[in-house]
Structure 1
Amino acid sequence: MHLIDFFDYGVGHDPVAECLVEGDLRMSYAQVDEWTHRIAWALADQGIGPQGRVAVLSPNNVWGYIAILGTQRARAVWVPLTARASVDEIIAHLRRTQSEWLLYHSEFDGAITRIVAEVPSLRGIVCVDQATGPHGGLAQWTASRAGQLFPLPDSDMRDAIFRITSSGGTTGAPKAVIQTQIGVEANMATFMAIAHDPLPRYLLCNPMTHAAGIVSFHVLARGGTVHILRTPELDKVVDLIETERITALMLTPTSIYSLLGKPDIRNRDFTSLRHFIFGAAPMATEKLREAIEVFGPVMMQIYGQTEASTALAAMLPHEYARFAADPSLLHRLASCGRATPFTRLGIMSSTGELLPRGERGELVVRGGMVMQGYWNEQELDTGASKFGWHHTGDIAYEDEEGYFYIVDRVRDLIISGGFNIFPSEVEQVVWSHPAVQDCAVIGVPDEKWGEAVKAVVELKPGASATGEEIMALCKEKLGSVKAPKTVEFWDELPRSPLKKVLKKEIRQRYWSAS
């Protein structure tokens, strides 16, 4: 099965049902379906055949979303471009993937001349949210094929490339990651199994190029509605949950912390929610308990990464609710959940042995969600798939009931005076301070210990705290070895377009000076 086959299944549920909603624009399944056929024909008429590489550059937008589905109808390879990336980064990914066609939003009109000049592989470009334009508009480009159904391929193309996306670059230079239609199948099956919601109303407010977009696809297969918000403006998010009776959405922990800090948040209506999904980073357990109190027993975590997207492990709402209510099980709030039904997880030593429950090692995975490899960088594939498993780069352990706990990234481990210190353990304590909005714990150069533990803290608006308070709290909870030796307060931590804290940038400030 191909992504577009799942969409077609949704069309068959009820063609006149609402499929995509953005502001006052409300489009039925039949309307979206017609546009996907028009786009597929237009690509084919320009010589873009199956597995041709078609990039889509758009913020969260109905027409950008339809463009993605149109590339899939053509059986082309979708090349996602992050709307919040710099023009340099956009050009780099287009060149890296040798993209042949670009479907773009008018927001990027000012950058198009430069993009075309610097990406020689591009054979054509079209603006998707305008009917006409200097580079062609969607209606104009597809007019000759209106009303014509695009034919099914001669084979099912199950193992074809779905998309070539960019790794986050939070730990090194971005790489082009190949994801297949087998991965689409695995994701669809997983969300059908773990997210029971007959006719979901999903709010897509995080970038559609990332996990939130992948999660939205199963909504189409169910015949549900995807409500599109350009950016996760939190006041609008809450308003839409109430007015559109949203049943599911996905936000980062950072955005959830900001929501919890809103003074009227406990007076708003979240009774329609069934799944409030978070991922991309761990969530502070104290704030998770608060989220369950505010939003109800709907919190759901998914764990994945670009190279193995999107839900390798999951903690489901009923599990969080049970653990939060039982003092003997509160420690489980720190878990990312159990392996999802179509994935096998393990904990591996550096020499390739699978470790017993309770021992720490690298989290490894097998299953359809694992990438095919890196585009034109085959030498990197070997390191990521040693010993027959995909290596996530996360240090973790599994408890006696199969729940996995991410201890830290292998690259983030701090070695101070011969002791291994996991920053995430320290961050959990720092987050528990009532004045702390977010934090990052890193190792900084130290002449005596090699590395010293440092906490970089972002406070809640209007709150105050001292470094001495935070160091004393950590020393009380963790002991002197793991407690930060210094604390710095920053107005705002550097974050990626997905709101992940960029430890690499924080670390560089201290290590480049050394």
Structure 2
Amino acid sequence: MALPSLRSAVARFMLNRLRTARSVARLAYRLHGKKPALIDRRGTLTYQQLHGRVLRLHGWMQAQGVKQGDIVFTWLPETGEQYETRLATFENGTIFASFHKHLSAQAALDTLLRVKPAVFIHDPALSEPILATVRERMPGLHILAIGKPYEEALAQATPTRGTAKVHEDEVFALHMTSGTTGLPKAIGYTHRKYLDSVRFIAQSINFTPPASGQDVNMLGLPITGPGSGLVLPTLLSGAVLVMPENFRPATLAGLIERHKVSRAFLSPSAIIDLLDDPDLPRYRLSSLSHVPYGSEMMPAPKIAEAIRRFGPIFQQGYGCLEALPPITWLLPHEHVDASGEPLGLHILSSVGRVMPGVQVVIRSDDFEPLPQGQMGLVTVQTPVRFDRYWHDPEKTAETLRDGWVVMGDMGYFDEAGYLHVLGRSADRVRKGGQLLNPREVEEVTHQHPAVKECCLVQHGEQAVLVASLRQSWRAEHNWRALEHDITEYLAENLRAELQPDRVRIVPEIPRSFLNKMLRREVRAMLDAEEPVAEPAHAL
């Protein structure tokens, strides 16, 4: 039996009746038992097989004395064990939390000591530097390593169905921030709020399986980050989840072709990497029918290029950990005109229009509302906002003001009601006595055919534009000459006050585990003043 489209009346009725993540997962196991559920490095598991492993993992936890409300922490790469553990916490009413694999060992240790989980499931390749200390300082912690110990634990455990009563207002997950600016902050979300976010998503995304059969969803963002937002929709629609081991373009394109992926949740940088891959034409990617993208702002010239390459299959949502998406949508048909051609860059550079039931207000530094067209702080009021950071009232007070989430972004509304997000207020750059929003410069830079990625950063008293080149331009052009060419291009296409003081080309722009550009590392590159290596055969 196949679940109908989440946009249909029947599916919406079912979704409204489901109150917890456990009820969603159990429905999926019952309806889709023989269908493929998970594809990862180990192979393919059906919903029935996945359910069996989840019940065994729950049985193992129960045998250790783990109880409802305990925290289960993972520190794993992008693996199926991560998915299985998440589903096991749905089953037994524990609270799931996870580190991303790039977190430093010291930050992982500090967070473990702060959060005090009952279970720690880990990859020894990541945890080895801290494992002895963890065992010494957390003697009651139940520790399980993936690989042979994990498989033996499941083999010896009794499959056990959860019997604890799970309420929709109980916390089911601790979502961790990336930790790129300090210790990761944790936000506890209840079943109710997370399912409300899914209900919002269901108003605009059609999860009808393709005519060829089962929907195939692929993560193009870490499941320890925004990729977790694909878990419940995958279960609800009876889709199979493809988990790449990495997000390199060859890996993603190969998996799309091999498994006939129909839906891929990608970061803007992943889309840019795919467009820049000279081998992309050899992959058959026609199965791809829907690409939600997010986690940072997408350059309008690049999404226009992606539409010309793949068709009108892209959908942008705006949101964050503190205010779950969707706050706004730019739907696939809103990316293109009646003939299917990309719309103007002014529309494509927006994040779309505000969802019904959500309020967005642009405010001054004094927190006063600003009129349409005026730039200021983006603030959001939504039913699916966070309530507080875990044990951090001071940070909560900074981010949550009078019921409004301060997004940390600068933005404005245009006359058609589209929200334009210009980037983080903390990333603004000083030039000539005024503050520049980097995106205003970067959007124009992306129109230069040589540019792959770029970011405007502060370097001393200068506003410096740092760019990387598309592969087709790297070997055959002199980089110093291209810096001059880009400078002239910007002089012709930007107002004088927006023009950078200097342009520098680098081999690659550093990225985070979420594939976001790391502006602080770009600044560090400039501070180091290391010369850029030219290709040996550059002209």
Counterpart secondary structure, 2:408: strand
Partner of 1:503: 519
Partner of 2:27: 9
* Post-superposition CA distance 1:225-277 (Å, at most 9, x none): 11121111322321221232111112222221121122243454332222112
Shift of 1:174: 3.4
In 1, the alpha carbon distance for the partners of 2:55 and 2:241 equals 20
Q: Residues 121 and 161 from structure 1, CA distance in 2 versus in 1: closer, same or farther, beyond 3 angstroms?
A: farther
CA contact 1:91–1:119 (8 Å) conserved in 2? no
CA contact 1:395–1:408 (8 Å) conserved in 2? yes
Q: Residues 116 and 476 from structure 1, CA distance in 2 versus in 1: closer, same or farther, beyond 3 angstroms?
A: same
Partner of 2:161: 149
CA contact 1:266–1:294 (8 Å) conserved in 2? no
Partner of 2:104: 86
Kindly report which structure 2 residues correspond to 1:165-176, keeping only aligned pairs within 5 A, or say none: 165-171=175-181, 174-176=184-186
Q: Which amino acid aligns with 1:197?
A: F
CA contact 1:96–1:176 (8 Å) conserved in 2? no
Q: 393, 398, 413: which one pairs with 2:428?
A: 413
In 2, the alpha carbon distance for the partners of 1:427 and 1:2 equals 42
Partner of 1:449: none
The root-mean-square deviation of aligned C-alpha atoms, in Å, is 2.5
Q: Which amino acid aligns with 1:498?
A: L
CA contact 1:323–1:330 (8 Å) conserved in 2? no
% identical equivalent positions: 24
Kindly report which structure 2 residues correspond to 1:46-445, keeping only aligned pairs within 5 A, or say none: 46-105=64-123, 107-108=125-126, 110-111=128-129, 113-114=131-132, 116-117=134-135, 120=138, 123-130=141-148, 133=149, 137-140=150-153, 143-146=156-159, 148-153=160-165, 156-171=166-181, 174-199=184-209, 200-266=215-281, 268-322=283-337, 329-341=344-356, 343-445=358-460
Q: Which amino acid aligns with 1:42?
A: W
* Post-superposition CA distance 1:9-60 (Å, at most 9, x none): 2223222111112256221112222222232233233232222111012212
Shift of 1:61: 1.5
Counterpart secondary structure, 1:371: coil
In 2, the alpha carbon distance for the partners of 1:484 and 1:223 equals 50
Shift of 1:384: 0.8
Q: Residues 11 and 341 from structure 1, CA distance in 2 versus in 1: closer, same or farther, beyond 3 angstroms?
A: farther
Q: Which amino acid aligns with 1:51?
A: G
Counterpart secondary structure, 1:347: strand
CA contact 1:195–1:275 (8 Å) conserved in 2? no
Partner of 1:18: 36
Shift of 1:365: 1.5
Q: Which amino acid aligns with 1:398?
A: F
In 2, the alpha carbon distance for the partners of 1:312 and 1:85 equals 28
Q: Residues 440 and 328 from structure 1, CA distance in 2 versus in 1: closer, same or farther, beyond 3 angstroms?
A: closer
Counterpart secondary structure, 2:61: helix
Q: Which amino acid aligns with 1:265?
A: L
CA contact 2:41–2:79 (8 Å) conserved in 1? no
TM-score calculated relative to the size of structure 2: 0.86
User: Are 2:481 and 1:468 equivalent residues in the alignment?
Assistant: no
Q: Residues 472 and 445 from structure 1, CA distance in 2 versus in 1: closer, same or farther, beyond 3 angstroms?
A: same
Q: Residues 182 and 354 from structure 1, CA distance in 2 versus in 1: closer, same or farther, beyond 3 angstroms?
A: farther
CA contact 2:272–2:302 (8 Å) conserved in 1? yes
Q: Which amino acid aligns with 2:520?
A: K
Shift of 1:111: 4.2
* Post-superposition CA distance 1:355-374 (Å, at most 9, x none): 33222221112224322211
Q: Which range is displaced more, 334-343 or 422-431?
A: 334-343
Q: Residues 12 and 368 from structure 1, CA distance in 2 versus in 1: closer, same or farther, beyond 3 angstroms?
A: farther
Q: 428, 453, 463: which one pairs with 2:463?
A: 453
User: Are 2:494 and 1:481 equivalent residues in the alignment?
Assistant: no
In 1, the alpha carbon distance for the partners of 2:434 and 2:127 equals 53
Shift of 1:116: 2.2
TM-score calculated relative to the size of structure 1: 0.90
In 1, the alpha carbon distance for the partners of 2:521 and 2:105 equals 20
Provide structure 1 residue ranges, at least 5 long, that are not aligned to the other structure. Answer: 447-451
In 1, the alpha carbon distance for the partners of 2:277 and 2:296 equals 21
In 2, the alpha carbon distance for the partners of 1:370 and 1:121 equals 36
Q: Which amino acid aligns with 2:198?
A: M
Q: Residues 164 and 302 from structure 1, CA distance in 2 versus in 1: closer, same or farther, beyond 3 angstroms?
A: same
Partner of 2:510: 494
In 1, the alpha carbon distance for the partners of 2:182 and 2:43 equals 40
Shift of 1:295: 1.2
Aligned residues: 500
Q: Residues 171 and 404 from structure 1, CA distance in 2 versus in 1: closer, same or farther, beyond 3 angstroms?
A: farther
In 2, the alpha carbon distance for the partners of 1:439 and 1:119 equals 44
